[in-house]
Amino acid sequence: MVLAVAGVAVAAGLAGLYGWRWSHEPQFPIGPRLVIILLILLNARQNLRQYRYAGVIEEMLAGTAPGGAPAGTSPAGAGVAPGGSRRPSA
């Protein structure tokens, strides 16, 4: 998560810097710099996606479903046993 936030912060800082330089020097080549900013933002998005997937995998290895329910149950806990049969009602 830290890498994703840091990537967005770096991209915002570079966008501000390059925008300021372009406003003071109209001949400043802004196109290649915008591509660099775009690549940094895409990398930050990928870092966030990897963080989320790592959380899902961690929950799976710990024996819980992504919603916090025990593994093998339905998301709402609708009385379905891990084998797929209905639990007896009390």
pLDDT greater at residue 72 or residue 38: 38
Share of the chain above pLDDT 90, in %: 49
Assign 41 a pLDDT band (cuts: 50, 70, 90).
very high
Tokens coding 19? 């925008």
- The burial of 26, by beta-carbon neighbours within 10 Å (0-12 exposed, 13-18 middle, 19 or more buried), is given as exposed
Q: Is the pLDDT of residue 10 over 70?
A: yes
CA 2 to chain centre: 11
- Residue 8, amino acid: V
Tokens coding 8? 């967005």
pLDDT confidence of residue 60: 87
Structural domain boundaries of the chain?
A: 2-62
Share of the chain above pLDDT 70, in %: 70
Specify whether the CB–CB gap between 37 and 13 falls below 8 A: no
pLDDT, one tens digit per residue, over 76-87 is 555 555 555 555
